[in-house]
Amino acid sequence: MDEIEAFSNYLTKSVNRRLLTVLSRVLELPDDYLWDNVQSHGSPTGEGYFRHALFRPVQKQTQEASKGLRMHGHTDFGLTTLLFSVPISCLQIWGRDEQWYYVPYKPGALVINIGDTLEIVSGGHFKATRHRVFRPPADQLHEERLSLVLFNSSIGDLRMAPAHDSKLIQREGCVEEQGVYKEFKKLTSQGKLVPTNRQWREIQIATCTDPTDTVNNRVGAHQVLIDGKVMHQREYMGVKVVLPVIFDFQLLVFILSLLDS
């Protein structure tokens, strides 16, 4: 336990703090701005957590119900997420060309996701990383996968808002046309309160949808068609969150091959 605590402390107070320094500098804020004003403190991970999970290969029935999906496309709620690069490829990110890509394995590397809070604090200059967990390529389907993730959380009572002290935001304004920032902006411009970091975090964790739920994971339930693309749509506290599913032809071929065998 002591070792885990020391490791969490190191990841949060050394690695993440330096990361927040770099991100503060990009926003032309004092070096410790994000660490002092947004990062949650009080324990090794503040209100965030360090998660260690070992995933076993999934059974055929689960594989078919989930269509290979292990976690829906989403953005993390907080400031930054630190994921340890692992040799079993499951983590995917959404590319600018609107395709999902496996994050390549780099021994000893950390994968850093930008979370919703950081997107909003940065006035949309940083985009929250859209990612999902998907079945690995065929040659890794029977392997166990270790997932080590540090979620850096932001101060629970804080309402999410752009850092108006940022010289970058003062000079260039906010980037309003995308992501969760756009939805938050809509609420504030209607004079409504946006959720606090704690509310945003808790509702997302509590209502996380199950990829094997064949009742809700279909168009007309949790999914909608936008410009011919299948999107996963949820609403949390008046904030609409729409994330891509897309139809995967490789997957169709894979399922048909399972039915054949």
Q: Of ligand AKG, Fe ion, none, which one sits near residue 91, judging by CB under 5 to 8 A according to partner kind?
A: ligand AKG
Distances from the Cα of 209 to the Cα of 51, 120, 258, angstroms: 19, 24, 25
Q: Could you say whether residue 83 binds ligand AKG (CB under 6 A)?
A: yes
Residue 1 beta carbon to Fe ion: minimum distance, rounded to whole angstroms: 25
Q: Could you say whether residue 116 binds Fe ion (CB under 5 A)?
A: no
Of the candidate residues 133, 163, 169, 194, the single one contacting ligand AKG (CB under 6 A)? 133
CB 178 within 8 A of CB 124: yes
List, as one string, the DSSP characters of 87-101.
SS--EEEE-TTS-EE
Of the candidate residues 129, 147, 152, 217, the single one contacting ligand AKG (CB under 6 A)? 147
Q: Could you say whether residue 71 binds ligand AKG (CB under 6 A)?
A: yes
Q: Could you say whether residue 79 binds ligand AKG (CB under 6 A)?
A: no
Residue 172 beta carbon to Fe ion: minimum distance, rounded to whole angstroms: 28
Q: Of Fe ion, ligand AKG, none, which one sits near residue 34, judging by CB under 5 to 8 A according to partner kind?
A: none
Which one-letter DSSP state was computed for residue 160?
P
Q: Which residue is nearest to ligand AKG (CB)?
A: 147
Q: Could you say whether residue 76 binds Fe ion (CB under 5 A)?
A: yes
CA–centroid distance for 77 within its chain: 7
CB 208 within 8 A of CB 170: no
Q: Could you say whether residue 91 binds ligand AKG (CB under 6 A)?
A: yes
| Token output for 62 | 């689960």
Distances from the Cα of 244 to the Cα of 55, 132, 181, 184, 225, angstroms: 24, 10, 17, 19, 10
User: Quick one: which of 76, 12, 101 has its CA closest to 50?
Assistant: 12
Of the candidate residues 16, 38, 76, 128, the single one contacting ligand AKG (CB under 6 A)? 76
- Residues in contact with ligand AKG by CB under 6 A are 71, 76, 83, 91, 131, 133, 147, 149
